[in-house]
């Protein structure tokens, strides 16, 4: 079971969090902070596993994380998950984000954070891995986006126009906070089917 | 209308959307909290509006704020409003918000039930999907109960997208509503063979998660999972299954034996590290579960260790970490094979990665021996000095203690060294493990008598410098050692050199800053010291000094009387009075020392940790019985006091029936455990495992080495453990010399007879005699203590509720609750349940009891059956060893009692007795015993149930679907001989899969029968128009496919080849050749082996379950052509016959009535094949219907051949 999925940046600013066990907002916040402290201390070329028993309940919990340029992707899992498998799942997750946002950068996560849970929902459900095939995930997400667009139809037009106007001053914000090389791979780990 | 909507949305465009909110927060970095509270006010306004789009927007923003740590539970009702919006866009926002903030305590959650049900049955798959996803996060017991049936229906939805989500969410439903597990399980099991890989993977996921918690209930699924393991190519599924097997093997060692071969094959062949790693892990689990009886045992361990070494040596830190992790599992049972890699482990200890160092530390535990303990600990001590983080340092500390104290201090040769190590550890700053060190000090001082003098001297030094230890609050953890120091100095005060000095140290004013419980120990031990000093002084007739000591106490004790800690205060005031009394006596020159020391006469023995728990319950004492009858529980009865004397009494009597049946007892036991767990005053057993002791009787015979005087007994200040390392080396050297001398002497007088005790082990390691004996004062245990190591399970564990027997048949009362007004229009198949519920409601409660007994009986029967099935499967020899087809004789012998026993279920009650006798005859011994026990009880039941004339309902109903009485069959004996020569033997099996409509996989087991090494094996076939071997890209049709392994002599391994088939309606043969190089001492030769690969039509069929209603529709449709065969002279039982057809021809039983059964299967290209099998006196007729007549006639021909062999 996956207990929690956290995304935060190099400075510990949470960009996305999903807990599969109920915690109060305060505890969630604390968990994110603690996790950041644990993870950010680690060098680039050490292993991606951390025993985080103190954090979320049971002692057989592990933190499995990956660091892409400015962002940390952390999965907290228990012993029923395969460590290398989860590493691969993170890779699939990031690749899927990359595909859905077309070259994802941290800003996408900042301004469109509402889309992330929808993408994640196609991969992980209630803490269990639902789908690992990226094409299948992307197909389902596209279909839902299409549905959403068709629903917006006429009524959505003015809102879209306004948001386009609002976004006109967006380019001021540098768009170069790229997530970087997504194709970091664990050697010898062929991708899953 | 449209105008209004447009107007509404124009208003709306000036509302903040999520992007605006995010932008706003970023622009208000200084007063973020203020800005957000403003936004929340705005959101509250928006939520009040009628426009659902505005509401959805507001909820969307709230979800974001929730992620930033703001509580949004106040908006729960609005969230539900948005959830019930008709548009998918809004619905999704609503469900997302709900999944973020709803939990079991949310009160409005019960309002969602109907909305969710509506969404689940929505025609849009995405509405359903969103509802399922949301529900998976906030399902409550109520929701689970109300929606279980709806979700179960969705498990058979036409869209795989919904199916996989429904399957996955069932796990959450089971957790919250355990009663749903049994009714839903057959369908879940079915999904393991779903044509969609996603659904299959979800089902595997759920069952693995269930089985992980309660593995024994899932043992019967082992054959099915075994089949999946050998056929699946999805690494995710494989990993899960292999992990599951890891959990199952400890329960059934025979399963392990069966697994080892395919797993080793996987290890050899897979290129995915993740899969390799899990295989190694499970092989380790298998090896642990097996006793050392296996011949190939050491080879498998070697393979694992060798593969792990490769992982550890890898430059990838992740693999290194996992390698060490798995290595530590091997260590537990096979320390020798790991010890060989000591170099590697020590090397990892210096790794820059903390996670890796921690794992290496774990391994060290098994690496130590008498020889190298000091050296390793010394290394660890330097790490302790260097370590920067407290976590790692604390871990080091516990590991040092673990290593040293393991198996009763087995590796420690010099306890003075150990004590000084412990003392050195007290200098650690900020450790949390002061109590651990203290416990070690106490333990060693108590149990190693010879060391007491030294320990006391060290402890008094420690007390002297207590200010160092206890100076800052930051070091609060470490001051625990003072507890031990004070106690040791007090208890063994006779060894103290300068008791007076220690006494003064313990009475310093600083002491009052220590924690209360330590002060209390101080007070108590001050008196012990005082007693010792008094005695010493009186013996020396130094009354002056004795009175001075008393005076000191009278002056200093009041500071403890004022202590904030009650315990310290109480003891101090008590003792102060005592000392004052002594002072009075002393003034009159009365000798008091004897009497004071009598207070502490006698020795304290250590008590085993579980001793309390193991006190046996005396005979005749019933802990469950009430001491007094409990007052009647309903308070309303108080309102009518009259009743107490008349009506009440009989009711009381009823409340406690004299003979509570087993279930009742179990229930009560459960309740009691629950109560105990919640009762703070109930003493729970400590989790520490009971230590095993070396047999100590030989203490006198073993030469206790005199403590060498060169060892400084009184080290001024703090000792350095390093000194001991050198001293120890010298000592060992001397000892060796001495021993040699003694040996020589011994040889001279050999008649002294055999030496008791094997103190002269073959290993040189054992030759090192410890400087001090652990004079084991065995921890005390009560007489006739029970040896039970009963589970220390947490009664509050949510997974315990899921410990449910899944093999007993469903009772009517177990059906899932269904909403009555709904008609099940989605699929017809689950309808049976609806009927059952109606039936249940019409039943009278009186019959419940009978039914319950009925259930019990059936359960027992089923259990026995299950045992036999699994036994049967497990007893078949592993595939590669003897891949010959099973002998029908054996099959019949084992299976026949099963059949006889199944028959009576459909007959009159009396017949059940026969079935029971059959049970008694069963070959499996352990079952037999159990049955005998049950027999009496059951015959009682039987008498009762005989009175009931009509058999239970549903009996006339044919056993349907195969799901309930499906029995696992040996999957591997379908291998048949392909070709054989003096070098190699090939056996093969052809399997199709529903996912690929024109492909079959041929698994070939290659067994090296020669003494040569076979390599460069290559398989090639002559493709026909219809069938082609799938070759690697870029190779021509004449190239062979290399076999991905080599074969050492006597080894077998399995290779898989994929063939593409155009038309599957006819059988065909392909000619092929296996070429290889055989290499032996004389040289190598090129060899060839020709074979003919036979693709039967049967091999294109895939076992697919089918509901009887769907089956009936299929037959009615009239699209199928018909054909039939008849075979005479069959003596085999019908049950076995069906099993044979199912197994060899990949059919599943749809329905069976007496000696007639309908069966179904599907080809990989989607042809339906339906059979009606009828058994006459000595003949069997098979009528078939199929969408392709050629296929049908071919299949029937093949079947005729199989049946003719029966």
How far apart, in whole angstroms, are the C-alpha atoms of residue B481 and residue B436?
A: 8
Tens of pLDDT, residue by residue over B284-342, are 888 877 755 555 567 778 888 888 888 888 888 888 888 888 888 888 777 778 888 88
Residue B760: which pLDDT band, with cuts at 50, 70 and 90? Answer: very low
Which strands make up the sheet holding B1027-1029, listed edge to edge? B976-980, B984-993, B996-1008, B1052-1061, B1027-1029
Which ipTM value was assigned to this complex? 0.89
Q: Phi, psi (5° rounding) for residue B720?
A: -110, 120
How far apart, in whole angstroms, are the C-alpha atoms of residue B505 and residue B499?
A: 10
How far apart, in whole angstroms, are the C-alpha atoms of residue B924 and residue B871?
A: 8
Q: Phi, psi (5° rounding) for residue A138?
A: -65, -40
Integer distance in angstroms from the first to the last C-alpha of chain A? 20
Residues of A in contact with B65 (CB under 8 A): none
| pLDDT value, residue B727 | 73
Element (H, E) at B1068: strand B1068-1080
Tens of pLDDT, residue by residue over B863-887, are 455 555 666 666 654 444 434 444 4
Q: Phi, psi (5° rounding) for residue B943?
A: -55, -45
Residue B844 pLDDT greater than 60, yes or no: no
| pLDDT value, residue B1132 | 77
Q: Which residues contact B82 (CB under 8 A, 6 or more apart)?
A: B52, B55, B56, B59, B90, B91, B93, B94, B97
Chain B residue closest in CA terms to A126 = B136
| pLDDT value, residue B367 | 78
Residue B746: which pLDDT band, with cuts at 50, 70 and 90? Answer: low
| pLDDT value, residue B648 | 42
What is the pLDDT averaged over residues B427-433? 73
> What is the per-residue burial (b if ≥16 Cβ within 10 Å, else e) of B878-912?
ebbeebeebeeeebbebbebbbbbbbbbbeebeeb
Instruction: Judge contact between B182 and B806, C-beta under 8 A.
Output: yes
CA B928 to chain centre: 29
How far apart, in whole angstroms, are the C-alpha atoms of residue B434 and residue B440?
A: 10
How far apart, in whole angstroms, are the C-alpha atoms of residue A85 and residue B1041?
A: 30
Angle at B1181 between CA B1180 and CA B1184, to 5 degrees: 140
CA distance B59 to chain A (A): 11
Residue contact B92–A118, C-beta within 8 A: yes
Residue B547 burial by Cβ neighbours in a 10 Å radius (0-12, 13-18, 19+): middle
Single pTM value for the model: 0.57
Please give the structure tokens belonging to residue B262: 């395919």
Please give the structure tokens belonging to residue B103: 């939990």
CA B291 to chain centre: 20
| pLDDT value, residue B1203 | 81
Residue B929 pLDDT greater than 80, yes or no: no
| pLDDT value, residue B749 | 55
Chain A residue closest in CA terms to B124 = A147
Residue-averaged pLDDT of chain B? 74
Lowest-confidence region among B389-398, B483-492, B939-948, B1038-1047 = B939-948
Instruction: Judge contact between B163 and B191, C-beta under 8 A.
Output: yes
For B218-259, give the secondary structure using H, E and C.
HHHHHHHHHHHHHHCCCHHHHHHHHHHHHHHHHHCHHHHHHH
Listing DSSP states for B839-861 in one string gives HHHHS-TTHHHHHHHHHHHHHHH
Tens of pLDDT, residue by residue over B451-471, are 888 898 888 888 888 776 665
Least CB–CB distance from A188: residue in B161, B202, B273? B273
Substitution target in A14, A53, A80, A81 with the highest count of B β-carbons within 10 Å is A80
How far apart, in whole angstroms, are the C-alpha atoms of residue B864 and residue B928?
A: 9
Closest CA to B999 of B1054, B1062, B1048: B1062
Residues of A in contact with B318 (CB under 8 A): 47-49, 83-84, 87, 186
| pLDDT value, residue B665 | 67
Q: Which residues contact B159 (CB under 8 A, 6 or more apart)?
A: B125
DSSP B631: P
Least CB–CB distance from B17: residue in A24, A132, A163? A163
Percentage helix, strand, coil, to 5, in chain B? 60, 10, 30
Angle at B720 between CA B717 and CA B725, to 5 degrees: 150
| pLDDT value, residue A5 | 93
Element (H, E) at B1090: strand B1083-1095
Instruction: Judge contact between B533 and B499, C-beta under 8 A.
Output: yes
Residue B711 pLDDT greater than 50, yes or no: no
What is the pLDDT averaged over residues B683-708? 41
Chain B residue closest in CA terms to A52 = B355
| pLDDT value, residue B970 | 43
Residue B925 pLDDT greater than 80, yes or no: no
| pLDDT value, residue B90 | 92
| pLDDT value, residue B145 | 92
Integer distance in angstroms from the first to the last C-alpha of chain B? 77
Residue A182 pLDDT greater than 60, yes or no: no
Residue contact A129–B60, C-beta within 8 A: no
Of the segments B711-715, B782-786, B897-901, B1058-1062, which one has the largest average pLDDT value? Answer: B1058-1062
CA gyration radius, chain B: 39
CA distance A158 to chain B (A): 7
Residues of B in contact with A121 (CB under 8 A): 130, 133
Residues of A in contact with B205 (CB under 8 A): 128-129
Residue A186 pLDDT greater than 90, yes or no: no
Residue A171 pLDDT greater than 80, yes or no: no
Residue B101 pLDDT greater than 80, yes or no: yes
Instruction: Judge contact between A60 and A68, C-beta under 8 A.
Output: no
Alpha carbon separation from B817 to B268, B329, B610, B840 (Å, rounded): 50, 45, 46, 11
Residue B949 pLDDT greater than 60, yes or no: no
How far apart, in whole angstroms, are the C-alpha atoms of residue A176 and residue A105?
A: 7
Q: Say what the alpha-carbon torsion angle B295, B299, B304, B310 is, to the nearest 10 degrees.
A: 180
Lowest-confidence region among A10-14, B585-589, B698-702 = B698-702
What is the pLDDT averaged over residues B383-408? 81
| pLDDT value, residue B136 | 92
Lowest-confidence region among B505-514, B661-670, B902-911, B1118-1127 = B902-911
| pLDDT value, residue B639 | 46
Closest CA to A49 of B320, B313, B396: B320
In 3-state terms, what secondary structure has residue B979? Answer: strand
CA distance B874 to chain A (A): 26
Residue A3 pLDDT greater than 70, yes or no: yes
Chain A residue closest in CA terms to B71 = A25
Residue B82: which pLDDT band, with cuts at 50, 70 and 90? Answer: very high
Residue B973: which pLDDT band, with cuts at 50, 70 and 90? Answer: low
Listing DSSP states for B17-78 in one string gives -HHHHHHHHHH-STTHHHHHHHHHHHHHHHHHSS-HHHHHHHHHHHHHHHHTT---GGGHHH
How far apart, in whole angstroms, are the C-alpha atoms of residue B594 and residue A79?
A: 62
Chain A residue closest in CA terms to B18 = A111
Substitution target in B62, B126, B133, B313 with the highest count of A β-carbons within 10 Å is B133
Tens of pLDDT, residue by residue over B160-188, are 999 999 999 999 999 999 999 988 999 99
- CB count within 10 Å of CB B742 equals 12
Tens of pLDDT, residue by residue over B496-529, are 888 888 888 888 888 888 888 888 999 889 888 8
For A58-117, give the secondary structure using H, E and C.
CCCCEEEEEEECCEEEEEEECCCCCHHHHHHHHHHHHHHHHHHHCCCEHHHHHHCCCHHH
Rounded percentage of chain B residues whose pLDDT exceeds 70: 70
Please give the structure tokens belonging to residue B840: 């249940």
Lowest-confidence region among B91-100, B410-419, B923-932, B1155-1164 = B923-932
List of long-range contacts for B111-118, beta carbons under 8 Å, 24+ apart: B111/B77, B111/B80, B112/B80, B112/B83, B112/B143, B113/B142, B113/B143, B113/B146, B113/B147, B115/B80, B115/B83, B115/B84, B116/B143, B116/B147, B117/B146, B117/B147, B117/B150, B117/B819
Residue A53: which pLDDT band, with cuts at 50, 70 and 90? Answer: low
Residue A174 pLDDT greater than 50, yes or no: no
What is the pLDDT averaged over residues B967-986? 70
More confident residue, B979 or A190: B979
Tens of pLDDT, residue by residue over A133-147, are 899 999 999 999 998
Residue contact A48–B92, C-beta within 8 A: no
CA distance A142 to chain B (A): 12
Least CB–CB distance from B356: residue in A26, A28, A47? A47
Residue B812: which pLDDT band, with cuts at 50, 70 and 90? Answer: low
Closest CA to B140 of B164, B183, B111, B97: B111
More confident residue, B1183 or B901: B1183
Residue B78 burial by Cβ neighbours in a 10 Å radius (0-12, 13-18, 19+): buried
Residues of B in contact with A46 (CB under 8 A): 317, 352-356
Residue contact B355–A154, C-beta within 8 A: no
List, in sequence order, every residue forming a beta bridge with A74; answer none if it has no partner: A6, A65
Angle at A64 between CA A59 and CA A70, to 5 degrees: 135
DSSP B772: S
Instruction: Judge contact between B1070 and B1061, C-beta under 8 A.
Output: no
């Amino acid at each position: 079971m996956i207990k929690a999925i956290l995304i935060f940046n190099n400075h510990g600013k949470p960009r996305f969090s999903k807990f599969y066990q109920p915690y109060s907002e305060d505890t969630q916040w604390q968990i994110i902070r603690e996790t950041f402290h644990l993870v950010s201390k680690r060098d680039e070329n050490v292993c991606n596993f951390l025993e985080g028993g103190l954090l979320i309940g049971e002692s057989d919990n592990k933190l499995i994380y990956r660091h892409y340029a400015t962002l940390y992707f952390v999965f907290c899992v228990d012993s029923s998950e395969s460590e290398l498998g989860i590493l691969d799942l993170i890779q699939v997750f990031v690749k899927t984000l990359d595909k859905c946002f077309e070259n994802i950068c941290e800003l996408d996560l900042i301004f469109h954070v509402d889309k992330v849970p929808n993408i994640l929902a196609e991969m992980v459900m209630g803490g269990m891995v639902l789908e690992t095939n990226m094409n299948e995930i992307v197909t389902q997400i596209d279909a839902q986006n299409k549905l959403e667009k068709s629903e917006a139809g006429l009524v959505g037009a003015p809102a879209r126009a306004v948001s386009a106007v609002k976004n006109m001053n967006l380019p001021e914000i540098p768009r170069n906070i790229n997530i970087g090389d997504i194709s970091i791979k664990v050697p010898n780990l062929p991708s899953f089917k | 209308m449209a105008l209004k909507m447009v107007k509404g949305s124009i208003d709306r465009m000036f509302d903040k959307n999520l992007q605006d909110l995010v932008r706003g927060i970023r622009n208000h970095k200084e007063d973020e909290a203020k800005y957000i509270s403003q936004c929340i006010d705005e959101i509250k306004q928006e939520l009040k509006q009628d426009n659902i789009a505005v509401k959805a927007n507001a909820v969307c923003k709230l979800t974001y704020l929730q992620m930033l740590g703001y509580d949004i539970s106040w908006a729960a009702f609005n969230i539900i409003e948005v959830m019930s919006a008709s548009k998918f866009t809004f619905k999704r926002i609503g469900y997302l918000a709900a999944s973020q903030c709803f939990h079991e305590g949310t009160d409005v959650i019960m309002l969602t039930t109907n909305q969710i049900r509506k969404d689940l049955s929505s025609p849009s798959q995405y509405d359903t999907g969103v509802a399922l996803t949301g529900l998976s996060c906030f399902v409550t017991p109520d929701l689970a109960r109300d929606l279980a049936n709806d979700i179960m229906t969705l498990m058979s939805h036409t869209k795989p997208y919904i199916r996989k989500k429904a399957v996955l969410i069932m796990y959450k439903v089971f957790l919250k509503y355990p009663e749903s597990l049994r009714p839903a399980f057959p369908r879940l099991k079915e999904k393991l063979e779903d044509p969609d890989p996603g659904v299959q993977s979800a089902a595997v996921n759920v069952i693995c998660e269930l089985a992980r918690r309660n593995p024994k209930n899932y043992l019967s699924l082992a054959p099915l999972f075994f089949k999946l393991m050998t056929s699946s190519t999805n690494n995710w599924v494989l990993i899960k299954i292999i992990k599951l097997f890891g959990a199952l093997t400890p329960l059934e060692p025979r399963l392990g034996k069966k697994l080892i071969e395919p797993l080793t094959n996987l290890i050899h062949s897979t290129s995915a590290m993740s899969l390799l790693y899990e295989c190694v892990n499970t092989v380790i689990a298998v090896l642990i579960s097996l006793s050392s009886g296996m011949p190939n045992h050491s080879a498998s361990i070697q393979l694992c260790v060798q593969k792990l070494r490769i992982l550890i040596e890898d430059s990838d830190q992740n693999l290194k970490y996992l390698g060490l992790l798995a290595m530590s599992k091997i260590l537990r049972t096979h320390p020798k094979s790991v010890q060989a890699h000591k170099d590697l482990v020590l090397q990892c200890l210096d790794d820059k990665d903390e996670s890796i160092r921690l794992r290496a530390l774990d391994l060290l535990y098994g690496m130590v021996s008498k020889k190298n303990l000091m050296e390793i600990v010394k290394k660890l001590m330097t790490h302790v000095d260097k370590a920067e983080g407290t976590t790692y340092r604390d871990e080091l500390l516990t590991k040092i203690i673990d290593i040293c104290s393991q198996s009763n201090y087995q590796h420690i040769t010099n306890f003075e060294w150990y004590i000084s190590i412990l003392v050195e550890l007290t200098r650690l700053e900020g450790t949390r493990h002061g109590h651990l060190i203290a416990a070690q000090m106490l333990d060693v001082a108590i149990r190693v008598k010879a060391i007491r003098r030294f320990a006391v001297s060290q402890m008094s030094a420690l007390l002297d410098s207590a200010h160092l230890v206890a100076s800052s609050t930051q070091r609060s953890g470490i001051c625990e050692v003072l507890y031990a120091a004070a106690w040791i100095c007090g208890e063994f005060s006779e060894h103290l050199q300068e008791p007076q000095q220690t006494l003064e140290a313990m009475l310093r004013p600083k002491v009052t800053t220590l924690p209360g419980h330590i002060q209390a120990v101080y007070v108590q031990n001050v008196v012990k010291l005082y007693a010792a000093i008094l005695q010493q002084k009186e013996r020396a007739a130094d009354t002056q000094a004795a009175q001075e000591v008393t005076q000191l106490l009278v002056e200093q004790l009041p500071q403890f009387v004022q202590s904030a800690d009650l315990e310290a205060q109480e003891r101090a005031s008590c003792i102060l009075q005592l000392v004052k009394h002594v002072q009075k006596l002393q003034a009159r020159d009365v000798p008091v020392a004897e009497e004071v020391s009598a207070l502490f006469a006698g020795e304290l023995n250590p008590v085993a940790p579980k001793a309390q728990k193991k006190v046996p319950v005396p005979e005749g004492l019933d802990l469950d019985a009430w001491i007094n009858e409990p007052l009647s529980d309903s308070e309303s009865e108080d309102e009518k006091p009259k009743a107490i004397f008349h009506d009440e009494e009989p009711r009381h009597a009823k409340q406690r029936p004299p003979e509570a049946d087993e279930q009742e007892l179990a229930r009560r036991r459960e309740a009691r455990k629950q109560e105990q767990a919640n009762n703070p005053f109930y003493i729970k057993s400590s989790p520490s495992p009971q230590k095993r002791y070396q047999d100590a009787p030989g203490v006198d015979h073993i030469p206790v080495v005199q403590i060498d005087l060169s060892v400084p007994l009184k080290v001024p200040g703090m000792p350095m453990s390093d000194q001991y390392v050198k001293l120890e080396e010298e000592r060992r050297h001397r000892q060796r010399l001495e021993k040699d001398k003694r040996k020589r002497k011994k040889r001279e007088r050999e008649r002294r007879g055999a030496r008791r005790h094997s103190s002269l082990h073959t290993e040189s390691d054992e030759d090192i005699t410890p400087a001090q004996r652990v004079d084991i004062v065995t921890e005390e245990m009560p007489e006739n203590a029970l040896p039970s190591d009963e589970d220390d399970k947490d009664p509050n564990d949510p997974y315990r509720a899921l410990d449910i027997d899944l093999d007993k048949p469903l009772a009517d009362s177990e059906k899932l609750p269904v909403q009555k007004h709904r008609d099940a229009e989605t699929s017809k198949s689950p309808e049976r349940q609806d009927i059952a519920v109606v039936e249940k409601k019409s039943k009278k409660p009186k019959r419940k009891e009978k039914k319950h007994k009925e259930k019990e009986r059936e359960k027992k029967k089923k259990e026995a059956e299950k045992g036999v099935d699994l036994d049967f499967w497990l007893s078949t020899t592993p595939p590669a060893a003897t891949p010959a087809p099973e002998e029908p004789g054996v099959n019949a012998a084992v299976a026949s009692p099963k059949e006889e026993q199944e028959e009576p279920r459909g007959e009159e009650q009396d017949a059940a007795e026969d079935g029971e006798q059959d049970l008694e005859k069963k070959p499996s011994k352990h079952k037999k015993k159990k049955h005998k026990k049950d027999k009496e009880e059951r015959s009682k039941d039987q008498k009762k149930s005989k009175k009931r004339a009509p058999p239970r309902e549903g009996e006339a109903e044919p056993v349907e679907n195969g799901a309930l009485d499906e029995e696992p069959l040996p999957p591997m004996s379908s291998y048949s001989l392909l070709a054989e020569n003096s070098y190699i033997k090939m056996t093969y099996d052809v399997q199709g899969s529903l996912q690929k409509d024109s492909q079959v996989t041929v698994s070939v087991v290659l067994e090296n029968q020669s003494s040569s090494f076979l390599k460069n094996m290559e398989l090639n076939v002559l493709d026909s128009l219809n069938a082609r071997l799938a070759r690697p890209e870029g190779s021509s049709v004449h190239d062979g496919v290399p076999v991905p392994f080599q074969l050492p002599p006597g080894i077998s391994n399995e290779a898989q080849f994929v063939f593409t088939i155009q038309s599957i309606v006819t059988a065909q043969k392909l000619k092929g050749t296996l070429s290889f190089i055989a290499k032996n001492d004389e040289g190598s030769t090129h060899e060839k082996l020709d074979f003919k690969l036979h693709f039967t039509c049967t091999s294109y069929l895939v076992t697919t379950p089918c509901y009887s209603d769907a089956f009936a529709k299929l037959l009615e449709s009239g699209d199928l052509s018909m054909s039939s065969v008849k075979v005479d002279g069959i003596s085999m039982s019908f049950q076995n016959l069906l099993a044979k057809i199912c197994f060899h021809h990949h059919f599943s039983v749809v329905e069976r009535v007496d000696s007639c059964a309908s069966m179904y299967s599907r080809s990989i290209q989607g042809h339906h094949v339906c059979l009606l099998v009828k058994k006459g006196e000595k003949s069997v007729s098979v009528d078939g219907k199929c969408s392709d007549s050629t296929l049908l006639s071919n299949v029937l021909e093949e079947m005729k051949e199989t049946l003719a062999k029966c």
